[in-house]
Amino acid sequence: MTQNTLTTHVQTALKALEALLEQLSGDEIPLDASAPKNIADRSPTEALQSDLKDRFVLHAADQGTVVALDPDWVPLFSEAMFGEEMDPDAEGALDLMQEISSQGFGTVQSTLSEEGLTLPGIQFGTAAPGQAPPSLDGGGDWLVPFTAQRDEGELDGFALLPDGDEEAAGAAEAAPSSQQASQQAPQQASQQASQQASAGGAQSAGASGNDPSSSAEGSDSVEVSPAAFSELGQEEISGGGESGNFGLLADVDLEVRVELGRRELPLADVLKLTTGSVVELEKLVGEPLSVYANGRLIAEGEAVVIDEQFGVRITNLASEGRREKAFF
């Protein structure tokens, strides 16, 4: 595979991943990749192997594919998937990265298949920062660094990809045999059906003492005709389209929750809590409070007092896409 061909495929894959991230988060997150570097004739450098120790690594050793991500990708993915940021050291971070790798590769595989490039199925393993990363010996032939642009700063990562020529050749060799098998299958099925019908007729004739009428009944064929459906006609939508249908949900009750702050405590500290204990929250005084609807972040606000009750004054709304998720 040439560098120009790989660059084209990488850009197509990045566009597909951008669309996936925007669908999950409701925000546009631009992705960019540097020109692929051919490292097939060079052994992996110690610096590259050492760099893996500080990253989340998604690896498929049998396919020669490795994706290494900065730990700060975890809050981005968790906010997109769950509506809240997760610490890279949290217990569920590895499961999150495994889920993202499955969704991301599925999206890339489907998109590139439309461009005429068939990717083999890949099951990614995951390694957290500090864990032993997979060895790069015999790994990918191309190094592709990439970045994601966010208001908080730039996130980086890199991918090691196989050349792809061997896989393409294997797929080309498999295609004729697959086509031949698909052509032979109906013929074999027809022969088996014919043999079964003949055997059934012979058994029926023997049981009836070679009665001609009985033999004819045993060999009767069943008429098969294709299914026919009437046309549905032109679809008519009443009620004003989306706005009318959405109005049907206007009286549905939603649970709105305001979060003052959070704090993770080990079980031992929780068991020590007694009347008068003070739990220090992570939020600072003056930070906006998070407002959730059905467990999804829809706004931020500040605490106010109305008569003798607490209230929240909305100061910032979440993106329209994220607020819409709260209704479904």
Q: How many CB atoms lie within 10 A of CB 8?
A: 13
Q: How many CB atoms lie within 10 A of CB 83?
A: 20
Alpha carbon separation from 53 to 128, 132, 134, 265 (Å, rounded): 8, 7, 9, 28
pTM of the predicted protein model: 0.48
Spell out the domains of the chain, with CATH numbers in brackets.
3-167 (3.40.1550.10), 254-325 (2.30.330.10)
Give the model confidence (pLDDT) of 225-266 as tens digits: 777 777 766 666 555 545 456 667 778 888 899 998 888 899
Alpha carbon separation from 312 to 10, 261, 318 (Å, rounded): 46, 14, 15
Residue 233 has a pLDDT of 67
What spatial distance separates the first Cα and last Cα of the chain, rounded to whole Å? 44
Residue 252 has a pLDDT of 82
Residue 235 has a pLDDT of 60
- Enter the tokens of residue 280: 């220090």
pLDDT more than 70, % of the chain: 69
Residue 197 has a pLDDT of 46
Q: How confident is the model at residue 113 (pLDDT cuts 50, 70, 90)?
A: confident
Give the model confidence (pLDDT) of 126-179 as tens digits: 888 888 767 766 556 788 899 988 877 888 988 888 776 544 434 434 434 444
pLDDT more than 90, % of the chain: 5
Between 302 and 63, name the one with better pLDDT: 302
Q: How many CB atoms lie within 10 A of CB 257?
A: 11
Residue 228 per-residue DSSP state:
-
